[in-house]
C-alpha cells in the first residue's frame, strides 16, 4: 500500500534549487520553488545525467545539464527535445520541517 517516506529536511533544499536524495532504491530530485517542494526521478530519460545538476527554468521546468532537454517538475512530463520519455513525479508533503514523498 501507499505510504510516506522521509527524504530530506525542508531547509536542505535551496530556494529555486534542487537536492538529490533517495527514496528506497530510487534516486530522486527535490525542487523548491516559491517555498513549494516538488519531486521527480533524478535520472534523465534521454541519457546519463542527473537532473539535480540542472537548472530550474520558468519556475516549473528542469533543464537537463547534458543536452538541455526539459521536464515539467510538477508532472514529470518531457516538454523539450531531445527528451521524449517522461520521468516520474512524486507527491510531496512537508511536516515538521521534514520532506516526505508518497510511495506507490
Ligand atoms: Fe538529459 Fe540528454 S541526457 S537531455
Distance 93 CA to ligand 1 centre (A): 28
Spatial contact of 18 and 54, defined as CB atoms under 8 Å apart:
yes
- Pocket test of ligand 1: the residue of 57, 82, 85 to mutate, having most ligand atoms within 8 Å of its CB, is 82
Q: What is the ipTM of this complex?
A: 0.99
The residue to mutate among 71, 83, 86, 87, having the most atoms of ligand 1 within 8 angstroms of its beta carbon, is 83
104 has a pLDDT exceeding 90: no
CA 39 to chain centre: 3
52-89: pLDDT as tens digits: 999 999 999 999 999 999 999 999 999 999 999 999 99
pLDDT at 1 over 70: no
Domain boundaries of the chain, sorted by first residue: 4-102
Instruction: Give per-residue pLDDT as tens, 90-99.
Output: 999 999 999 9
CATH number given to 4-102: 2.102.10.10
pLDDT range class, residue 40, cuts 50, 70, 90: very high
In this prediction, residue 102 has a pLDDT band, given cuts at 50, 70 and 90, of very high
| Per-residue H/E/C for the chain | CCCEEEEEEHHHCCCCEEEEEEECCEEEEEEEECCEEEEEECECCCCCCEHHHCEEECCCEEECCCCCCEEECCCCCEEECCCCCCCCEECEEEECCEEEEECC
Q: What rounded mean pLDDT belongs to the chain?
A: 96
Amino acid at each position: 500500500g501507499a505510504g510516506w517516506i522521509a527524504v530530506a529536511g525542508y531547509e536542505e533544499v535551496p530556494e529555486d534549487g534542487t537536492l538529490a536524495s533517495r527514496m528506497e532504491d530510487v534516486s530522486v530530485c527535490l525542487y523548491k520553488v516559491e517555498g513549494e517542494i516538488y519531486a521527480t526521478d533524478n535520472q534523465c530519460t534521454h541519457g546519463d545525467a542527473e537532473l539535480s545538476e540542472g537548472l530550474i527554468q520558468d519556475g516549473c521546468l528542469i533543464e537537463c545539464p547534458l543536452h538541455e532537454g526539459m521536464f515539467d517538475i510538477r508532472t514529470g512530463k518531457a516538454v523539450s527535445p531531445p527528451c521524449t520519455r517522461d520521468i516520474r513525479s512524486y507527491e510531496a508533503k512537508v511536516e515538521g520541517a521534514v520532506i516526505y514523498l508518497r510511495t506507490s
